[in-house]
Amino acid sequence: MNILFVCSRNQWRSPTAEQVWRNYPGLSVKSAGTSRNAKKPISIDLLQWADVIFTMEQKHKNRIVAEFHRVVEHKTIHVLDIPDDYQYMDPELVEHIKDSVSHRLGLE
């Protein structure tokens, strides 16, 4: 299963999620950002690659749907509701990502 994690600048939250899930059996993971200044900006190729998309906030999902509607109209997009309050690999962020993603993917 291909999973794409999305935040704004692809600096703290989505790269943390990518790192947390990188070695999970059966999953391929990547991350991107919705901002034009993102380290890895979201693209049609990344969205087409993804089976499931996890956004950190509702605004990220809204932007993806607004800009790439035809690409994602049949994709599953989950909103994790994780505010931009964490640094990369913050232990609290890691726990939140593990719990939220495993619950939504049924990996518990």
Closest CA to 14 of 40, 51, 37: 40
pTM: 0.96
Going along the chain from its start, the domains and CATH numbers come out as: 2-105 (3.40.50.2300)
Alpha carbon distances (Å) from 69 to 7, 47, 50, 56, 77 = 18, 11, 14, 18, 12
Give average pLDDT by consecutive 10-residue segment, the chain, 108 residues.
98 98 96 96 98 98 98 97 96 97 89
